[in-house]
Structure 1
């Protein structure tokens, strides 16, 4: 039976706090009641109205309301066309971006009128309030280069994925949305009570899901800003009993760590991790598992990191059993972000 005008104009939405918007959208999608044909809209000073097809049964919300709902412009191209962009201009528009908490991260590249791109992304993602054009990562502390292109300009946010909350300032510390699956994987990989060393902990990218799974994690980070967020995130996620944070160079922590008891698992979530393999092997117990990340040219994917690991193990008088290899994402043109998991005897 066709909808009448009243049915189309008055539909349901749930009101939630803006910081929860993306988490709620994911939960509503899982329940099958998120209405992707309408836009998320601002509701009051700190809330947004998320469109639904029926009242949710499993998701906590502030209230259920009637919302006037215009059909959603479903893509960035739709929004830019509405702003008068030509086909040639659309060819230069970004094809991918990521929502991190209340911030949209995008590489604007050569797109004309970056502010219009930002405004279109805010219209597409009603749960966001700032759009950042992201450049590269530079410096010893792996600091991001970002520019505000639209919105409020607030770069500090809380991002939630798989139940883990990450507080961070995207203008101060790096966050890679493409590592989402790998972060979840590490939470699944550990056993309760395992002793883990996270040599490059950052804000707790991998530390937090492992600690939430019951592992005892020594988390080392030398960037003072990232370390501050690491400590705050440990408290926010309620895992302070499971995490021992150090603001230091991991090579300075390993000797003391190894004297107490070696790790069941060592995580090296840094693209130049091979430079620290001697320390990682010193920290790892016999039979322990090493997770080594690397940015590898496509022609050398898996071959180079495995060779580097085997050479370092040989120098330490140890053996390597490769358990798994994974491509996480593209790192740059012709370069892949890969991980090698290996048991070290």
Structure 2
């Protein structure tokens, strides 16, 4: 950890070591109850916070703090039973400032300046992604976000996504400047470089949803796999996934993430245009996680078995939700003498003003 880490030094923050367990929970006496925290290595901080949140013991009212050489103490309401840690400690000090506005006011920002600060951002592993807009003193916004999220060490300013491979345009706003990280969602681990490949935090529930939809030993074609956004949850749910990605950087992370999640035996990766892979392929399910996926419907339908399920993503204007993607799917199926039964429709997130990211799930006979 660098000397200029935004997390306060541990000497003033931790008063007492209560137990030292490498796995599971230590047994604490009643007099030890109070401002508890568990110590983990800093690279594991976000993964541990996610797991502690899932267990229901993460204390969001207190700060994540530095601890020792390369560790952090994460506040908890009780000793966790399912999360590995090094030791349990007691934290002292002021409660966490709960909002970005609190941190900016502490830096002397006026009410009018605070009103111009960003209202949303995303923590992806150890990196914070934010669009500061017209906020004054962007670097102070970055430092305040690091104070707010002690598990992070870098803040990136988003400048959009462009190019054939939808590559992100970002710049370092504050912190160490390390853009490579490992992000954990619902037990799935994603290694990625946020300066090189796209990651949409707003798709979190959709990624989890796909892991819940597939059946054991089901064969799935993921036509736009990226770093494994949908491939990994599905493979972890025991589906066999043909994962196609043409961006060479994203493809390398796809391979790494299959190993990281121990699903290499469930993932068949191809660095190619998905239209060049479908010949001779026969699958139970097709995932089309790309805003212009409708352009590839012919290839998707060629690969999909009768009675199989297709998940069509699209960026759709509000006045055409869900009519346009359904019409496109039905037209492509009709050209092949096939019929469509719509199983589900949902909005994933806002794509831009007046346009939403939507998904249509359909069975195609």
Identify whether the pair has TM-score above 0.5, normalized to the shorter chain.
yes
Structure 2 distance, partners of 1:246, 1:286, is: 24
Q: Is 2:82 aligned against 1:62?
A: no
Q: How far is 1:26 from its partner?
A: 3.0
Structure 1 distance, partners of 2:128, 2:305, is: 41
Q: Is 2:325 aligned against 1:301?
A: no
2:36–2:88: 8 Å Cα contact kept in structure 1? yes
- Aligned twin of 2:261: 237
Q: 1:165 aligns with which of 189, 192, 195?
A: 189
Where in structure 1 do 4 or more consecutive aligned residues deviate above 6 Å? none
Q: How does 1:18-167 map to 2 (within 5 A)?
A: 18-167=42-191
Q: How far is 1:69 from its partner?
A: 2.5
- Aligned twin of 2:364: 344
Q: How does 1:187-226 map to 2 (within 5 A)?
A: 187-226=211-250
Higher alpha-carbon deviation: 16-25 or 299-308: 16-25
Residues 69 and 33 of structure 1, relative CA distance in 2, 3 Å threshold: farther
Secondary structure in structure 2 of the residue aligned to 1:254: coil
1:133–1:146: 8 Å Cα contact kept in structure 2? yes
- Aligned twin of 2:332: 312
- Aligned twin of 2:279: 255
Structure 1 distance, partners of 2:108, 2:347, is: 39
- Aligned twin of 1:286: 306
Structure 2 distance, partners of 1:78, 1:182, is: 32
Q: How far is 1:317 from its partner?
A: 1.6
Query: Which structure 2 residue ranges, 5 or more long, are not aligned?
Result: 1-15, 17-30
Matched residue count: 334
Q: How far is 1:15 from its partner?
A: 0.5
TM-score (norm 2): 0.89
Query: Which structure 1 residue ranges, 5 or more long, are not aligned?
Result: 1-5
Structure 2 distance, partners of 1:30, 1:310, is: 40
Secondary structure in structure 2 of the residue aligned to 1:48: strand
Structure 1 distance, partners of 2:334, 2:290, is: 22
1:38–1:69: 8 Å Cα contact kept in structure 2? no
Q: How far is 1:326 from its partner?
A: 0.5
Higher alpha-carbon deviation: 182-191 or 24-33: 24-33
RMSD of aligned Cα (Å):
1.5
Higher alpha-carbon deviation: 19-28 or 156-165: 19-28
Higher alpha-carbon deviation: 32-41 or 194-203: 32-41
Deviations 1:190-228 (A, max 9, x none): 001111000000000000000010111000000000000
Q: How far is 1:57 from its partner?
A: 2.8
- Aligned twin of 1:332: 352
Secondary structure in structure 2 of the residue aligned to 1:35: coil
Higher alpha-carbon deviation: 14-23 or 216-225: 14-23
Deviations 1:105-145 (A, max 9, x none): 11111111111111000000000000011122111111011
Structure 1 distance, partners of 2:44, 2:139, is: 26
Higher alpha-carbon deviation: 322-331 or 25-34: 25-34
Deviations 1:232-286 (A, max 9, x none): 10011110111100000001111142xxxx1100000000001101111111010
